[in-house]
Every structure is written in structure tokens, then in C-alpha cells.
Amino acid sequence: MKTCILFPGQGAQSIGMGKDLYDAEPEVRRLFEEASDASSTDLAALIFSGTEDELKQTRNAQLALALIDTAAAAALRNRGVVADGAAGFSLGEWAALCEAGVVPFAEMIRLVAERGRLMDEAGRRSGGSSMSAVLGLEPKAIEAALAAAGVKDAWIANYNAPGQSVLSGTEAGLASAEEAVKAAGAKRAIRLKVSGAFHSPIMRYAYDGFKELLCDVAFADPRIAFYSNVTGGRVDSGEELRSLAAEQIISPVRWIDEEQAILADGYDRLVEAGPGSVLAGLWKSAGSEIGVSPAGTAAQIAALEP
């Protein structure tokens, strides 16, 4: 069975996520230990005993999700579910890079820790920036509305689905953008509780620091099909993926295009490895008869055929 594994990103985190996998799988406990050592953070304490406020902080949420996404993928392999392709949404792309053999697990955790720190700092340096979800308006209509209204300092950050996009920008830029898209027919514009304008030029500080860090990191060519947020398509070169790993911080997540690339490659099964079912929900608009199977708990993973 040809399988593509999808990894969710920031926003999917919750206290206690992955605890049943931790209790049931020795390999998952080993990953927790390795990740805690690599990040100098007690991740079991953060994820299982911390507070929601602590966990949602960008630097903590990114580390925690990278670990839980990878742990779910390990549990899937133990079940006999082997990936032929991998894709991740925003932060989830790092678990996908690990699954594809591009970056080893401990190195991935070390890089995610620094990525979260830099993005958190970029948000603070922005002087006030955020994100807003726009519902009920096509991406091209959003782009046209922003251009027609002369909106500055706000951009589409996530192309999630035909009727769902996310904007990033300064507080003033987002206020203008929200007015513009509502006037163009959007059903709602919902301000998100995030620490900065992710996937936009406002993250330039994080991009510069992360790009420099990546200069000394080797990225192997992916051993399975890998789909990129930045290009929206398949990428087969490790060297290109190293460049894209920095670009992703300031570039929009082209998830609609990614879904179409995955769909064109003819998978028999799609599995969401990690907490929640956000990507399963987005996939419903991809035009596929195949749904996405959530695989964030031991029971969900046990229900899958090898």
C-alpha cells in the first residue's frame, strides 16, 4: 500500500499529547530522552505536566510537536506502516524531513529548538504583529482584495484550502487586510493568538539567523518522496531542501499546491502522524476519494492495517 504521511504543525499541541504512545512504546520513550538531551529541555515534564500557556509558547510548541509528530511516525513503523512519501505543515515539515532521512532526529530537534527561539524573538522585535484566518474567500480573491485596497504590511501566510487562508502582518496591516477581505465577501476574519507574523517578511530576523546556522548542517537527499511548503511540490535534492528550510520561515505555506502534488502521485493511503486532525480536515477539499487517517494516539495507530 503506497502511503504518504502528513505531519501537523504549531497549533495542534495540547497538554498530555502522546502520553499513551510514551507509555506503550519503548522507542517513543527513547525519543523523548534523546530530544530532551538535544534541546536541554525536559520535554516529558513540559508536555505531560506543564501548563497550556507554557506549551503554546512558540519555542516550546515547536519542540513539543516535532517530538510528538516523530514519535507517532515511529509508532506507525512499529505497526508496519511504512512511508513512501512525507509532507508537513509549517513546523510539521521538520518531522517530515526526519521521516525522509534528510536530517537525523537529534539534529532535527536541535534545529527546531533554534528555529522556535529565533521566530519567538522575531515576533518580539516586530513591535506588534500577528495572524488572521480568513474564511469563505478564495486565495486569488484575497490577493485581489489586498491589492485593490492598497494594503501594506499584510500577506497571505498559509494557503490552507480553497475557502480558508491565513494572513500575517503588522497590527495595522492586518486591520486593513481584514476590512478589505470582508468587503470582498469573506465570511469571517478571525485573529489568531500567536506570537508573531509567521511565514511573512516580518520573520526576516529569524530567517537570517537560521540561514546562517544551516550553513554547517548537511541535508541528505530524501529517501522517499518529499513535498515542500515553499514550492508546493516534490523536492528531491537535500541541498535544495537546506535552502528551503530557511526560506520557509518567510514564505507562505502552499498547502493547496502540496495536496495536489501528493494527489497526483497516486497514494493509496494518507496518514496524519501527530495530535489532532487538522490536516485531515484540510484534505477534504483536495478532491480525493481517499481520506486522511488520524494517527496521533495508540488506538488510532493500532486500527491501521500494516
- Answer yes or no: are the C-beta atoms of 267 and 2 closer than 8 Å: yes
Catalytically annotated residue among 36, 90, 130, 251: 90
Q: Taking Cα atoms as reference points, which of 129, 205, 204 lies closest to residue 167? A: 129
Cell of 300: 488510532
Catalytically annotated residue among 132, 176, 195, 199: 199
Query: Sign of the C-alpha dihedral, residues 153, 163, 72, 236?
Result: negative
Active site residue 285: no
138 DSSP β-pair partners: none
- Answer yes or no: are the C-beta atoms of 235 and 244 closer than 8 Å: yes
Active site residue 90: yes
C-beta neighbour count of 229 within 10 angstroms: 27
Q: Taking Cα atoms as reference points, which of 97, 172, 94 lies closest to residue 129? A: 172
At 155, phi and psi to the nearest 5? -145, 160
- Answer yes or no: are the C-beta atoms of 273 and 72 closer than 8 Å: yes
Cell of 67: 517530538
- Answer yes or no: are the C-beta atoms of 40 and 122 closer than 8 Å: no
What's the order of all strands across the beta sheet hosting 154-161? 154-161, 164-170, 129-135, 188-192
Query: Sign of the C-alpha dihedral, residues 256, 258, 264, 268?
Result: negative
Distance CA 38, CA 110 (A): 6
Structure letter (DSSP) for residue 191: E
Residues with catalytic function = 90, 199
